Structure 1
Amino acid sequence: MPRAFLGPRIRERRRGLGVTQADLARQIGISPSYLNLIERNKRTIAGPLLRRTAQALGIGLEDLDGAAERRLLATLSELANAPDLASLGVEAAAAGELIGRYPGWARAVAALARAERSATAEARALADRLTHDPILAETVHMILSRIAAIRSAAEILADYADVPPEQRDRFLGIIADESLALSHGGAALSEYFDATAADGRRLSPFDEVAAIFERREEHFEEIEAAAASAPGPEEHSVEAARGAALTRCGGPIATIVAAAPEIGTPAAERLRAALVDYAAAALLLPMVAFAPKAAELGHDAEALADVFGVDVSTVCRRLVTLREGPRFGYLRVNAAGSLLERRGLPGLFAPRYAAACPLWVLYRAQQSPETMIRQLAVFPTGDRFVFVARAGSVGPSGFGRPRHYLTDMLAMSESDARRTVYAPDAGARAEEVGPACRICSRAACPHRVDDALG
């Protein structure tokens, strides 16, 4: 764990107490020259010496070597290495010095960085929404159609003074009817935006359900408890497990749906179906057996599927629910690139209504079906993820029948990936990817198919 802030913090605390280097060195049993090296981060300090130093300075050990400072150091180091700041010559090695000497400024810079990242994520979601939201597109199309009808009728009345009275009344009726419809459409659009902003609802049942899973961090303890106390399905298959989930976990599922009155009826049905799938996976892969086996096998989705006799997609969904160990995200798309499922891993933006970056391995996997493919991806923000994707055929097969493929992808941060079998090879080159063309800042990308907003 980096301790680059320790030396400056010791120096600032010593100076604040009015203690000389010689006095402090004598109290902790080292030479003044060695203490000088420690304060300049030229020598490390730990163990009994660190404890004696904390006692001599009258502060707790955690104040010198606390988790909060380590998180702050990680944030500043990440900010210093952000591609957008590369031209500024940020002194990444001095992050610890900044924390040690000016902790308030360090926290302020980190807070601004987090706020910028949050605003960027919100802008991405808004850009995706404005560009691809079907409700917005349909309403705007209706408004433009009404405006065109009103304009056409008004131009006829303005250009032709000799329009017969019955025809004039007809055109005036068209203007009145279309104006009323336009007014209703504008009000509906305003209410749609106001309701979404007021209660945080997403754009569709898909997004509303995803929001509930996110709030619960992809884990429903009441379903886990019900599944753990019930016997597994008589037939070891996903369909049999879904049937068993309705009877053995129906109570917790109904309670969770009832506790989400803010979602509409379509979203409630989708939520119920998603929770049934969750319960089915919990019955097939009990956490008490799945978690240790996952750790033992390095979270290898294919190996776990063989051990438990289930498909890879069920294992992927179950990996997302783990409470300890690496954190996973899960995405599933069809051959058209439509996003069918999205679970877990905050910080990874996947457009809902637009295709994600075509460079994601998620879209490459269908070129090599039934094969797990790995990718070390770096985004324009500097965020680095490891993606592993596998395409598998679903539905009936046979001669003359087209094969239908769905692709499952696990996503994890690069640091978490190093705790799994999917750890990148030493010196592996990261592939430059983006979220989606409309919100990607890589201006020189040869695969861009649409201009970025702004």
Structure 2
Amino acid sequence: MPADSGKKLFVGPRFRRIRQQLGLSQTQIAEGLGISPSYVNLIERNQRPVTAQILLRLAEAYDLDLRDLATADEDRFFAELNEIFSDPLFRQIDLPKQELRDLAELCPGVTHALQRLYAAYTEARRGETMVAAQMADRDEGARFEANPIERVRDLIEANRNYFPELETAAETLRDELNVPAEELYAALSARLREKHSILTRIMPVDVMRETLRRFDRHRRQLLISELIDGPGRAFQLAFQIGLTECAGAIETIIGRAGPLDDAPRRLYRITLANYFAAAAMMPYQPFQAAA
């Protein structure tokens, strides 16, 4: 703390954040500091400075560490925003550095949301690259189909995007669960646990940095990133159930396609499990009735 009690500081956004963390209105914190609510409003808008005396009162009245008003967070947020907007994705956007600094200082919550969104974007982009690499057979002596995605798309079109075995299995699942849509996630989680000994866990993004879902076969755990919303989580559970309970039906459908290389076979299996999950989320008969 500076020795000069008359020193003035402009820390409006940080002052507002502390007030909100304390759950206080501008009027309430003004009463605690012995100043007017209008002065608090001006402080938070950076139109009036905060003196060292006011900071001392703030620390004493609410038992705060004045280091909470330091600029370290804003500097870190600015550096992270600068890294995000350096991505080639934003190359054509002329975004002044001062606007990024203003965003980091005035809207730390928005900054945090952008960080999570960008992390999800980079993960999706990395996933596409990994899939492409896995599908490209680098063994020159091995036979492979040049475009597995096109091959699977042709198979779906040949079946007119309709697989009655999976539709029936999905409707049977929903009939057995017999729950409304808002309770589907809990019911699917219970089925995985009770019928297949698979535990579902929602994991923080810091843990699931490299993927949005992961099935741990050894521990029998389905790990889902917190970035996935409620319906998306239910879809991931239905997808896992499709791979587990409809493995025979899926292999029968794949068998009807004739000889397939490993890459299109794997992609076709994933596509069919996704089909089952979608059908379980929105069974055809109730959908038709509602329509």
What TM-score do you get using the length of structure 1 for normalisation? 0.22
Higher RCO (CA < 8 A, seq sep 6+): 2
TM-score (norm 2): 0.31
Which has more helix, going by share of residues? 2
